[in-house]
Chains A and B, each alone.
Chain A
């Protein structure tokens, strides 16, 4: 570290790292410090979580108080507590005040710290924070798989050794001896460690790539479905328009033809869309309609074909068959008159208001009567069981 003043007494000194910006002193990452055991200040590991995807947010609470200067968020809205390598918290202004001019002892435990060693807190519990960083470091060396061992017993012994070391490091028990064990292990298994490291790195790349590809595919399919929806809407409106015109002209047959043709074409388009979405992607789409499209197209090949009546049926809606009231045989057995004599008070009221001044909802009187007569007539011919 270069000091640009002649003597210690002169006030002006240009700090190596201006506050707010931390230049990495080594290539090991943003949070500076060295990751070598027994590195330049004796720090074994660096606090802070490495997060390349930048999705992890900093931990803060409303009742954060700096243990050194007792500022809280009411005094300083932008209060930010950072963590030292010895896992003590301090606010940024305290850090500036204490460590700008060089290494100083930690106010809470006396360990020599530098401004560059501070990192933000990710977890609520500092023990977790420490644990995470310890384990990250351990994972660099202790990265063997079960396949690397001949027997299960050896694997378990290896795991126990690893956990033992982790426990010691976490609770600051026999730190030097433990460090010695680590270095010993690293030296002995250097090749295996390196090989495993390479394999893991490769897997990570693949994982990232695959995620990227999947994401792109999802976007594409979602776009396709949205496009299809839009087109369908326009098409259905057009058909509706045509049908209305046909009906207005009184040409019912043509209206029916248009409708059925429209339905058939819509089915063809739906099938095309479903074919264009490969099954692996369709299952990822959160749109339930896309899934159902896929299910209907794929259901022909499935061996478990569920019937429409069962709850597991996932195909298109199939209506229950029902009798067509316009073709009921009961129609032949009565003639609906225009007016009946009916002494029920509701009917009398309805008749009185017949001059178009109905104030409430309800059945048309003629329909109401027809309903009653049908109920009477339709089930007369059912033979009793013997």
Chain B
């Protein structure tokens, strides 16, 4: 009893740090760690951009040094203004997001949950890393590959890489862990599709509900949902809110009537919000989703990509002098560690040597093993084609046993027929 109480007190202190929320969504990592306000997002991105510019500048300087060392002509680092700005990064990211969406839905034919999860991964990754450090050309397929795995619709690598232009399987495997780390290994993304289905069901509970209208609204709501994925909606709002907003965009009247009925039925604090506040949130979301519908200018994206080539981190690009240098340093470190280890082992071994003279070797070598099964008069387990027939000697020889059949022949004792 005392035992239990003591433990309860110690663990209750810990338990207080982890409180059960009113719903499973409150206990999810998405609610805990991936929730930002719009201002937080912009400041986060700006800080990230600034830091990446610093890193890239520094590395390009180092690259210049490394190239000079190798005796190559060095390229001057680009001026600070030509580095990518936050808007450029976001534009590029959005392009790759839409690409990812097409590839998953049309290229692989995977369900919406995979598409949603992969795009979330991509967005989350680029909240922690910059485009200049990790090119989306590689990160995007990695996110798709990971998302397919984590949502239980895995695609084999050999079927995966052909869908992309000039993609090596090794590149994906190398970056998989980096991406997982940037996601803090929180792989389950709460996506809005399930909530959308839930709303479609609950809309039917209204008396005199128009079921056909509900059905029609689902498909257009899904397109609005895919538009929302190109925006930051998931960092600011919850999947329930996003899905309801998408539905409202699809059929405003339907949703408004439903909400009115709902608040009449259950009172002012249905859903934990007043109706006015809820509609405000929905309107805000709708505006955001609309921004996701705008088409991207391909030319601008191409320009950004070109500029990115100039200002990406040379340490991460295989083939640059700096990359090679870093790799060599790494290899040296590993080799040094290994050498230490073998040295230690050798010293340990030589201690033994001193006491016992020679190193004790096992007396059983391959040659000495014999099988003792009485039925195997040949003695060895190996097939007979291994044995050689000696024409002038009389025996069938086996390397381990000497003569197997017959006695020793002349050749076995080192004589020829002329010696007799």
Contact = CB atoms under 8 A, between A and B. Distances in A.
17 contacts: A61-B363, A61-B364, A63-B364, A296-B7, A297-B3, A323-B22, A323-B23, A323-B24, A323-B26, A330-B23, A333-B271, A373-B201, A374-B23, A375-B25, A375-B198, A376-B194, A386-B37
A337 to B, nearest CB: 6
A328 B270 contact: no
A321 B241 contact: no
A332 interface: yes
A299 B236 CA distance: 44
Given A131-B356, A309-B14, A335-B205, A375 B3 contact: no
B24 A376 contact: no
Contacts of B10: 305, 307
A125 B356 contact: yes
Contacts of B194: 371-372, 375-376
B400 to A, nearest CB: 10
Interface of B is mostly: helix
A323 B3 contact: no
Contact of B7 (A316, A329, A342): A316
A214 B156 CA distance: 57
B115 to A, nearest CB: 17
Nearest to A72: B370
B198 A372 contact: yes
Interface in B202-261: 202, 204-205, 211, 214-215, 236-241, 243-244
Contacts of A62: 364, 369-370, 372
Contacts of A127: 356-358
B205 A334 contact: yes
B283 interface: no
Contacts of B13: 307
Interface of A: 61-63, 73-74, 124-125, 127-128, 131, 264, 267-268, 270-271, 296-297, 299-300, 305, 307-309, 315-316, 318, 320-325, 328-330, 332-335, 337, 340-343, 369, 371-386
Contacts of B356: 125, 127-128, 131
A319 to B, nearest CB: 9
Given A63-B368, A124-B363, A382-B238, A342 B23 contact: no
Contact of A328 (B18, B23, B215, B369): B23
Contact of A385 (B3, B14, B35, B266): B35
Contacts of B19: 321
A180 to B, nearest CB: 26
B278 A300 contact: no
A372 B197 contact: yes
Interface residues of B, number: 70
A268 B5 CA distance: 12
Contacts of A377: 198, 202, 240, 271
B75 to A, nearest CB: 44
B384 interface: no
A380 B272 contact: yes
A153 B372 CA distance: 58
A329 B202 contact: no
A309 B17 CA distance: 10
B11 A332 contact: no
Contacts of B39: 386
A369 B203 CA distance: 13
Nearest to B12: A318
A330 B26 CA distance: 12
Interface in B21-51: 21-27, 31, 35-37, 39-40
A296 B2 CA distance: 11
B226 to A, nearest CB: 18
A382 B375 CA distance: 81
